[in-house]
A and B are shown apart, each in its own frame.
Chain A
Amino acid sequence: MNDLDDERAQRGAGDHVVRHFLIDRLFHWLTAISVFILLFTAFLPILGVKFSWVTPHWVSGLVLAGLIFCHIVRSSFWQDLRSMWFGLTDIKETMATLGWLFRLKSGALGRTGKYSPAQKLMHHGVSLFVLITIATGLLMMVKIDTPLWDRDPYWLSDESWGTVYVLHGAAALFIMSVVMIHIYFSLRPEKRMYLRSMLLGWLSRAEYVNQHDPERWRN
């Protein structure tokens, strides 16, 4: 440990920095539960596990849509959207990280804001695919009977329904892969502090100072 690391560790001793408030952690885990229900009710029947999947699928889809709506409202009015903005600095940091990873550059990596470029890209990728599944899923609900309306399979042409199904299915497949990778990274030793912060809400002061630039940290 060099002098700078030693000084950072001493500054962080016995202190916590809040990374995720309880409401944000609840949002994350409720979203995770609804996404898992959606993935299992979508893909298990395809793999031959037969059960009545339609109702839990669309109910979970509506729950997910509601959660995403609440998240958009909260992040727009109660949080700083700039914490998730992927800009030129993030591109430079991504290039630096790749250079470090593939040993093309030596030296320590710089500190990021609240979220690293990789975390931002993960968020934006998941957001894109989830929004596609929600938009197409809401359209597809026209074709099922619910307590609120009777099905109308002729609302769109066959070709249009085909496009809707392709978008819904493709986005769901990407979500499955991205969720696998997301879980993998959350369990890696060097990233486990972020899993803990999503469970308990905090980073230690040392983790905060070592990994993040307080000047760029925005809630």
Chain B
Amino acid sequence: MEVFRYTTNAWGQSVLEGMSWDLLGVFFAAGCAFIVAHALYMWFFSPEK
């Protein structure tokens, strides 16, 4: 998986174009993973307040 996107400019040089959009799924999955992990932890192991 790429972290950055590159393009070729008018002189044939490779230049940075931005973040790789492969990361969109990674960040979405990371958000979901945190939510599920927290919800499960709080459901099963949360201490009483």
Q: Which residues of A contact B (CB under 8 A)?
A: 43, 46-47, 100-101, 103, 106, 108-109, 158-159, 162-163, 165-166, 168-170, 173-174, 176-178, 180-181, 184, 188, 190
Contacts and interface: CB of A to CB of B under 8 A. Distances in A.
Given A174-B27, A176-B31, A177-B28, A169 B47 contact: no
Given A100-B47, A108-B49, A109-B49, A176 B27 contact: yes
B19 A159 contact: no
Contacts, number: 63
Interface string B1-12: 000100001000
Interface of B: 4, 9, 13, 15-19, 21, 23-24, 27-28, 30-32, 34-35, 38-39, 41-42, 45-47, 49
Nearest to B28: A176
Given A177-B27, A177-B30, A158 B21 contact: no
Nearest to B11: A158
Given A174-B27, A180-B31, A180-B32, A101 B19 contact: no
Nearest to B13: A158
B35 A158 contact: no
Nearest to A177: B31
B18 A165 contact: yes
Contacts of B47: 100-101, 103, 106
A132 B39 CA distance: 30
A103 B45 contact: yes
Contacts of B28: 176-177, 180
Residue of B27, B28, B42 with most chain A CB atoms under a 10 A cut-off: B27
Given A165-B17, A181-B31, 9 more contacts: A46-B24, A162-B15, A162-B18, A169-B19, A173-B19, A173-B23, A174-B27, A180-B35, A184-B38
B19 to A, nearest CB: 3
B30 to A, nearest CB: 6
A14 B28 CA distance: 42
Nearest to A160: B16
Contacts of A43: 24
Nearest to B30: A177
A158 B28 CA distance: 29
